[in-house]
Amino acid sequence: MTQYIPVTMCHDCGLLQQISHMPEDGAVQCCRCDATLRKRQRVEPAKSIEHTLALVITALVLLIISNVYPIIQVETEGHEIAATLFGCVKYLFSNEMEFLAGLIFLTTIGAPLIQLTGLLYILLPVNFNRMPPYYAPQIYHLVRIITSWSMLEVLMLGILVSVVKLSAMATVVPSIALWTLALLMIFIAAILSDLDTEMLWEKISPRIRAVELEKLKRGTQLTNCHNCHFLCTVSPAHESCCPRCNVTIHFRKPDSLNRCTALLIAASVLYIPANLLPVMVVTSFGKTEGDTIINGVMYLATSGDLPLAIILFIASIFVPTIKLIILSLLLITVHFKSEWRPRERTYLYRLTEFIGRWSMVDIFVDTLMAALIQIQGLMVIEVGVGAVAFGAVVVLTMLAAMAFDPRLIWDNMEKINE
């Protein structure tokens, strides 16, 4: 049976609170900032590991099929071109766009592969009541980090947008990997929602006891581990390690404001070439034209694809801009120790974490179009340098959001209330 730790600390506002009972359905939320503290599992705790293991094995098979077969095939003027995921990475690499090739590889192949093989390595022995495998906590830590970079749902949206755009210039035939990728996306979402992480930590680090609050000395600093959410004591004098997963823990993310500001400045600088330089270069009958992000959206809007234009506008223009604005607002208000609406500012922080990855849609669309439309003498599409700058903006804003510690918003409030 899963034992829910009765005392927990909110990861978004740092408030220590007791979970008196788990509701029959739904989740327990923080009473101060509404962050989800515990979720009731859909699957019975006794069957959670076995159920997740079955999902992981199926997802691995789907991942292999998705990488062996093409995603879509384009037929035009007697030419047939098929694009595989790895083919897109190879195309970018051979066109000297190593950064974009690496980014596409990480978000669509590398991250899901590490996530699934890591879970298989841990769950297989645990399911058969064997000892947890060597380095299980470290590997589970890696799985949790890499999960933020797995973007199959964004890739699926990118493929759908590409299919609509391509169907205006050629016959588009969906291939087997398109369907297996859609299934893989659903399986990975099910794994993330059904895996009882608290129980898995108990299985791979079984001898760890929860902190006994009543035995703590006055003034002891507590924090929850950023990796496994275990409540630990921290010493300001020296580095502490989480007793459950062994990662270095800090009372607050170290240098959060400085790191977030530096990443945000770098993202804002690259935001300019990302919007001014072409993300896609089309050569048709000897004439070469570059398309910036806004050109692409305007073209779709005027050619009758309004829903598609709206999707691309939100993902490529609205989301990166709003992320830069929100993160700047959070940094400025924390720097000036503002008391202004801490709960709403925490909501804004969670929004930036959630929406950031969706800007990758444009990169996926440009890469797929370029990998598929390579008909020499008729039409050739290439990925423009603007896409490299845009990819860097997406990565930098995601890293900036990860570097920001939302508990700093509430630390100011606590000092005021003291």
List of residues contacting Zn ion (CB under 5 A): 10, 12-13, 30, 32-33, 35, 225, 227-228, 230, 242, 244-245
CB closer to Zn ion out of 32 and 79: 32
CB closer to Zn ion out of 148 and 283: 148
Residue 30 CB, nearest approach to Zn ion (Å): 3
Residue 88 CB, nearest approach to Zn ion (Å): 37
CB closer to Zn ion out of 75 and 414: 414
Q: Angle CA(259)–CA(136)–CA(204) in degrees, nearest 5?
A: 110
Residue 249 CB, nearest approach to Zn ion (Å): 7
Q: Work out the burial of residue 296: count CB atoms within 10 Å of its CB; fewer than 13 is exposed, 13-18 middle, 19 or more buried.
A: buried
Of 246, 238, 248, the closest CA to residue 207 belongs to: 246
Residue 225 CB, nearest approach to Zn ion (Å): 3
Of 117, 154, 163, the closest CA to residue 139 belongs to: 117
CB closer to Zn ion out of 230 and 349: 230
Collapse the DSSP code of 287 into the 3-class scheme (helix H, G, I; strand E, B; otherwise coil) and give the result.
strand
Residue 397 CB, nearest approach to Zn ion (Å): 23
CB 279 within 8 A of CB 362: yes
Q: How far is CA 222 from CA 9, 232, 321, 374, in A?
A: 9, 6, 36, 58
CB 157 within 8 A of CB 311: yes
Residue 240 CB, nearest approach to Zn ion (Å): 11
CB 33 within 8 A of CB 348: no
CB 154 within 8 A of CB 368: no
Q: Which tokens go with 143?
A: 């799985």
CB closer to Zn ion out of 184 and 228: 228
CB closer to Zn ion out of 12 and 291: 12
